[in-house]
Amino acid sequence: MNLISVFDLSRAEIETILENAGELRAERKEGKRTRKDLEGKTLALIFEKPSTRTRVSFEVAMLELSGNVLSLNWNELQLGRGERIRETAKVFSSYVDAVMIRAFRHSTIEEFAKYTSIPVISGLSDLEHPCQTLADLMTIKKYKKSLAGVKVAWIGDGNNVCNSLIGGCAITGMKISVACPKGYEPNPEIVKRAIEMGCDVVVTEDAEEAAADADVLSTDVWVSMGDEDEAERRKNAFKNYQINEDLVRVAKDDVIVMHCMPVHVGEEMTEEVINSDKAVIFEQAENRLHAQKALLLKLLN
């Protein structure tokens, strides 16, 4: 099995991953960091773009589960010199037990999966970031006790992180309102699929409308990796899509504020909000570790 899109997981599978992730978190807090479950197993991480959280959390996850991990830069592999994905994928099948890929194009990860016999995990593409969603759902569940009925408001770019979160909301029974400028809406097929699953998805240009009565406020950078050429145009388009104290006041009193990180302080989120007691972004980042451990146990055991 692969995790390339958040839709690769059923509601029951997500619930089990979150439950196991919670147990792993509790164990770790009690000082029990290592398990033997993945002894002898090797995970390869392939990065076509930079990463802090995804790389470190996957590396630590494998180390603490007694497995091995290889972090590989796309351009240092023959892939960077034009070796085809299909041959690379077949070669990886005979060396390692699973591969995580962070790629520019979603189709790159899908193509790798087509030609390999080992599980493939997306570590982000231009379309989705499913591992981020697992950590996001884990964080929301901890604060809101259950996911069903929770209202998420996404403020800003309808990007990869937003697309997977919409899918995560649809699978787990949450509602989501996305506020974004025209031309930066989330992927229409993902929105359509979520609505067909019965999810209450609203896409609006009005940040206050989206934030009204929200249980969760979330956002991401205005300029994602790969969008640098249009940075100025984007910064201009998104200037009214910031999570600041005024917007937080529109949401529920017990709203939590989330961001997958890295944060561009003063752009999509203000310093005051980042440092406020409503922000749970560091716990969200920590949960990448626990959620991915639970995912690896599912895929590699």
Give the C-alpha separation, 29 to 281, whole Å: 18
Binding mask 115-154 for ligand NVA (x = CB under 6 A): ---------x------------------------------
Give the C-alpha separation, 271 to 65, whole Å: 36
> Residue 119: which region, alpha, beta or left (left: phi > 0; alpha: psi -120 to 50)?
beta
What distance lies between CA 241 and its chain's CA centroid? Answer: 20
The one catalytic residue among 106, 288, 290, 292: 288
The reply on whether position 56 binds ligand NVA by CB under 6 A is no
The reply on whether position 225 binds ligand NVA by CB under 6 A is yes
Q: Which two tokens stand for residue 218?
A: 């979330």
Write the DSSP assignment of 171-234 as a string of letters.
HHT-EEEEE--TT-PPPHHHHHHHHHTT--EEEES-HHHHHTT-SEEEE--SS-TT-GGGHHHH
Binding mask 126-155 for ligand CP (x = CB under 6 A): ------x-----------------------
Candidate ranges 57-65, 139-147, 219-227, 278-286; the one touching ligand NVA (CB under 6 A):
219-227
The reply on whether position 261 binds ligand CP by CB under 6 A is yes
The reply on whether position 72 binds ligand CP by CB under 6 A is no
Count of residues that interact with ligand NVA, criterion CB under 6 A: 9
Candidate ranges 49-57, 71-79, 85-93, 173-181; the one touching ligand CP (CB under 6 A):
49-57
At 271 the three-state DSSP class reads helix
The reply on whether position 185 binds ligand NVA by CB under 6 A is no
Give the C-alpha separation, 263 to 245, whole Å: 16
The one catalytic residue among 259, 260, 290, 292: 260
Give catalytic residue positions: 102, 129, 132, 220, 260, 288
